[in-house]
Amino acid sequence: MHTIPFALFSAIFHRLTSANACLVRVAVATTLGVAAVTGTPSAAVAQTATASENTQVHYHTVSVDGVHIFYREAGDRTKPTLLLLHGFPASSHEFRSLLPLLSARFHVVAPDYPGFGFSDAPSAAVFPPTFAHLAQVMGRFAQVVGLGKYTLYLHDFGGPVGFRLAAAHPEQVTGLIIQNANAYEVGIAPDMLKQMRARAEGPLDAKALAGLDQMLSPGGTKFQYLTGVRDVSAIDPTSYSVDSWVQALPEPHRIQQALLVDYYDNIRQYPAWHQYLKVHQPKTLITWGENDPIFLVAGANAYRADLPKADVRFLDTGHFALEEDCARIAEQIIAYFSK
């Protein structure tokens, strides 16, 4: 587990506790355990979030084959389960405001991957840092915490992790919520696709290593959070600041860098994922930050070919859509999966 310096803890705690009053009360069980709802939710979402005692978020750590995985959990376990898979370079912290908004209707679980957030950053001997192994760990996590069937929320890295889970065990997946998680080449910015292919072909030259260092830098992380948003002043800097702190630690840095190098393997898996979608037709809500500079609107629309019944929505925001439109996304999920 990572130990947060007291100065950083103080800064995070001050920022989180000085925010506007939350829509819901969430326990401070970890350093990052204070949720702040972005935007002004509708009366329907407010009533949903406050009508149940199950809006309380709980914070756990569980051993998954020797790797300690941190996760957030809320809601009644007898209700339908949502398994929330976060993006890069984030953690389950990106779902901090969404969990209490959904927990009156659903059982919601959001883990941190190895090398992200509060989970362990194990050695390569324990956890080879590839997406295939990452999906194996998350699949075992679901078993260990007793999840049977679940709807997957896929964001960014959560896409290749979740699609591997769904293709391997389609009987366990009751639906998909896809938020800026790509599964089509047309959905990747051309320059980014070129870099992914070059890293996969290797070897990594000085230019490729410099590109990786830029993506893993505080500036690269801030770029992902702020590009395409409507109002920069509405984006809490806690998220990208803590992500940058974790990335700077040697072992998380090694794991995240290796996953970026491995990313092109996901593209090789696209045909298998398309086949899964065509055959199984999971109930799917696609909610997409349309100003994302990395995963383009074309990627959201491409799902229509394989999922003609999918509900596709676009939001006037960027890659981390929950930072600006959490309440709106919660409304979409509740309406769509309550039908």
pTM of the full structure:
0.86
- Give which of 80, 28, 103 is closest to 59, Cα–Cα: 28
Strand order in the sheet with 81-85: 57-64, 67-74, 107-111, 81-85, 150-155, 173-179, 283-289, 311-315
319 an active-site residue? yes
Domain 6-337, CATH among 3.40.50.1820, 3.40.50.10280, 3.30.1360.80, 3.40.50.300? 3.40.50.1820
- Residue in the block written with tokens 């696609």: 286
Q: Give the pLDDT confidence of 51-90 residue by residue, as tens digits.
A: 445 689 999 999 999 999 999 999 999 999 999 999 999 9
- % of the chain exceeding 90 in pLDDT: 80
**Is residue 33 over pLDDT 50?**
no
Question: What's the average model confidence in pLDDT over 284-296?
Answer: 98
**Is residue 236 over pLDDT 50?**
yes
**Is residue 221 over pLDDT 90?**
yes
Q: How far is CA 157 from the centre of its chain?
A: 7
- % of the chain exceeding 70 in pLDDT: 84
**Is residue 270 over pLDDT 50?**
yes
User: CA angle 180-87-302, nearest 5°?
Assistant: 25
Question: How many Å from the N-terminal Cα to the C-terminal Cα in the chain?
Answer: 41
Q: Which has more confidence, 290 or 42?
A: 290
Position 208 scores a pLDDT of: 87
Query: Which one is catalytic: 86, 93, 274, 319?
Result: 319
Q: Are 175 and 150 in contact (CB under 8 A)?
A: no
Half-sphere exposure (Cβ direction) of 27: Cα atoms closer than 13 Å: 13
Q: Which two tokens stand for residue 247?
A: 């990335």
Q: Give the pLDDT confidence of 91-147 residue by residue, as tens digits.
A: 999 999 999 999 999 999 999 999 999 999 999 999 999 999 999 999 999 999 999
Q: Which two tokens stand for residue 129?
A: 């840092």
Report the alpha-carbon distance of residue 118 to residue 68 in Å, rounded: 9
**Side chain identity at 15, as an amino acid letter?**
R
Report the alpha-carbon distance of residue 284 to residue 178 in Å, rounded: 7
- Give the pairing type, strands 67-74 and 107-111: antiparallel
- Domains of the chain, residue spans: 6-337
Position 16 scores a pLDDT of: 38
For residue 53, what is the DSSP state?
Answer: G
Q: Give the pLDDT confidence of 148-205 residue by residue, as tens digits.
A: 999 999 999 999 999 999 999 999 999 999 999 999 999 999 999 999 999 998 888 8
Q: Residue 37: helix, strand or coil by DSSP? A: coil
Report the alpha-carbon distance of residue 126 to residue 41 in Å, rounded: 43
Q: At 47, is the pLDDT very low, low, confident or very high (cuts 50, 70, 90)?
A: low
